[in-house]
Structure 1
């Protein structure tokens, strides 16, 4: 069957469909540190069949999970689809059965009421389980060693009561707990939210139910030592949009943004809501609190960053307004004001922020992100990058000095989201590596790059050739190999920055 000849399914966006196991990948430049022991897991939308509607947005594909295993100066690769209910039903039928992105009204009648999740947004390891995640459905439990799907609708032993689970849970490195939430938790387009605290052993210990000010894409959140923080941004949806055949979400520039702050041990009645004029912010770099003052760091743009979710008022996509810069949102729970103070942190333009994950919820000094440096030459086939934006640079932000350090990948490549890899034996923040995939557009291929996290401008420590093109992915994480089963989440001792 032929995929459509549209931007979402051609060029670097063309489906891959490769399930593979390849050992001892060739290192084409540099050297892999011999003491590096662990796995980099990542996931990409990779549709099994052409879309039922004839076309669809890029990230509605089936989740293809990749594992890069590092040990003794070598790296191997495994890649396999997550066997969701959707994947299984369509494979049995031999063609697509589920329709447009998050619109069940467009599905084949034979799958009415089935879970539509694709497990294509993030992969995390906690309590020895590899969880492939999509925010509209329960986690998919996979074996972290073989990538075999164990449970396509994992509900933590039946104790998860929501219909959905975030694609961006946070692991508190001090306690080993996983903090998570679900939105549209009682059904599509509902305002219902739930917050979960999950023990290091993988058991749900607490849940808090509440409502957000309006239904929207609640893609990410932040944690601090004392609070969890939810940002409500007007990428809104409704059943009326779905019935009209419109994209599930649209950007409503007439709505304000909100910031909800919930004490880690509090209930729904303890949430405090703050507000600011409309803007766009999706992913969260980190958050921390100083007493009752809460800081929340996000790449923020003045306008819509998602051209595939057009403005609700019909305004055309504005790439200038879509340029996001790292910004700190600050609120004080002692204040009578409901305003959010917004302070720019750096001039880098981009998205996909990361930190040294051992400092999640603490005051961090360093942050990393993908950036687009339009001052550099661009020579891409077709004039577009794999991600839509020209993410040609990795950037590091020093939040103490305001200084930035960057690595430009060259005129014919773009980059996928990085992940932080701690240097074995070190507990110092930022001492380690960044790992990411390079999209080599001119040759329609890929490489895996390893860089010194505090010296990006020096270029890759190692560049690893990959045997096939890696489809543009979304998120991934590093798991150290010395933990039991090479797959359990880990606790580490870190000191808060004051």
Structure 2
């Protein structure tokens, strides 16, 4: 095997793990709450082979799913690669065959026309299955108990788009999955396909429409009555891809658009609201009061993704990349096409999460990864694969404005948190946050369990891992009551 290139994304804590593991009864420091019963799933890029082109971006690695199974005060860990078509073809060849991120023109000719997805961005549970997701390809179904890959999933032959979002939303009231695919008819197309999928896993509503321009739509928002598609100018370009340049690039001259569609509407019901150039990626939550729609999302003045270069050649600006939770409000009864902006916190942060039982509704508690450079930082952990340095988890009470934080220490950084309610009937925000901590000085990981209402108190328990779990992307919690319904 060729050596991985000498680049930060393949060195130190970011070195590919390339290991599937089973560890039973992990060591726990502190007292693990016995009411936590279920599975915390997370996924991230972990390339099995060095990149075909000699270099790559972090987000182009093969998907590795980790499952932390909590049961009766104990925790087991299982890690498995998602056996995508890409993974299987490269494993058979014994080397990388697929090239640059979202660029099929850079692939080995032997895999022309094959699905390029890596299933490395998010992992969620729906209709009795686990879905590993990457927004350039269909979902990959997995057995939620064994993590065995079942294969690409087309919802009984009804998935018409080439792509499927990495951020579908599960309606906590109906159990429906609300989803979409952008570039749904191919690279550099403005086509969006919207889906409603029932609890049996059938597509029951579909709408096709076009965005104002072709761009990455990484996340979207859902309220009780509407769906909102943020179109920000991470522009795609077929020409750049063919020239061997990054397929996506940031355009600071473009305005942004918010496409609003009634959940049961069709193409003619889409309405576009327009705003000044800015960056936004991950949605915290959204809700509507009648015709007024509120979308809460971290917003930055400029590009947050340094691996997608400015299309006009401007250098990456880390100051403009700092994002703060902001509320965008649209009025469907207004005759204007603009929307209002209201910053909700001074905390610099991203990867927002909520108590998912309150998704699509008026809510009170929000959580996010926070960058606080006023705290002591060891210079050896300053590097970041994304341009964002995460050393705190933050909680904001939107009713009172109260904020609190958990600081992971000078020699560590954090990964995205996930919320676990104390019980099905617990009040909103009454529960726990779980998050992986990257321990750079020990070259291993911990899973911390924090009281979501008392982050300042530090972990109530720490699950000690005897290994390093590479920086992941997104994850979700599945309670034991849902796991018991699995019949695969």
TM-score by length of 2: 0.98
Question: 1 CA distance for matches of 2:203 and 2:128?
Answer: 15
Deviation per residue, 1:219-258 (Å, 9 max, x gap): 0000001001110000001111102221121110110000
Residues 58-77 of structure 1: matches in 2 within 5 Å? 58-77=58-77
**1:383 shift after superposition:** 3.5
Question: 2 CA distance for matches of 1:7 and 1:389?
Answer: 14
Partner of residue 491, structure 1: none
**Are the equivalent residues in 1 in contact too, given 2:381–2:412 (CA < 8 A)?**
no
Partner of residue 212, structure 1: 211
SS for the counterpart of 2:90 is helix
Partner of residue 269, structure 1: 268
**Are the equivalent residues in 2 in contact too, given 1:387–1:472 (CA < 8 A)?**
no
SS for the counterpart of 1:70 is strand
Instruction: Please say if 1:95 is aligned against 2:85.
Output: no
Partner of residue 372, structure 2: 373
**1:388 shift after superposition:** 3.8
Question: 1 CA distance for matches of 2:405 and 2:483?
Answer: 35
**1:485 shift after superposition:** 2.5
Deviation per residue, 1:207-226 (Å, 9 max, x gap): 01000011111100000010
Structure 2: 5+ residue stretches without partners: none
Residues 136-151 of structure 1: matches in 2 within 5 Å? 136-151=136-151
- Name whichever of 377-386 and 443-452 sits farther off: 377-386
Question: 2 CA distance for matches of 1:304 and 1:378?
Answer: 24
Question: 2 CA distance for matches of 1:382 and 1:392?
Answer: 10
Residues 380-419 of structure 1: matches in 2 within 5 Å? 380-381=379-380, 383-385=382-384, 387-419=386-418
SS for the counterpart of 1:118 is coil
Residues 42-191 of structure 1: matches in 2 within 5 Å? 42-151=42-151, 153-191=152-190
Partner of residue 315, structure 1: 314
Question: 2 CA distance for matches of 1:415 and 1:78?
Answer: 20
Question: 2 CA distance for matches of 1:325 and 1:382?
Answer: 23
Question: 1 CA distance for matches of 2:297 and 2:5?
Answer: 35
Deviation per residue, 1:334-361 (Å, 9 max, x gap): 0011111010000110100000011110
Partner of residue 283, structure 1: 282
Instruction: Please say if 1:434 is aligned against 2:458.
Output: no
Deviation per residue, 1:84-137 (Å, 9 max, x gap): 000000000000000011110000000000000000000000011000000000
**1:484 shift after superposition:** 5.2
Say how many residue pairs are matched. 486
Question: 2 CA distance for matches of 1:487 and 1:77?
Answer: 19
**1:387 shift after superposition:** 4.9
TM-score by length of 1: 0.96
**1:486 shift after superposition:** 5.7
Question: 1 CA distance for matches of 2:458 and 2:486?
Answer: 29
Partner of residue 228, structure 1: 227
SS for the counterpart of 2:484 is helix
SS for the counterpart of 1:316 is coil
**Are the equivalent residues in 2 in contact too, given 1:380–1:441 (CA < 8 A)?**
no
Q: Write out the 4+ residue segments of structure 1 that deviate beyond 3 Å after TM superposition.
A: 385-388
Question: 2 CA distance for matches of 1:464 and 1:487?
Answer: 26
Partner of residue 360, structure 2: 361
Instruction: Please say if 1:473 is aligned against 2:466.
Output: no
Aligned CA RMSD, in angstroms, stands at 1.1
Structure 1: 5+ residue stretches without partners: 489-498
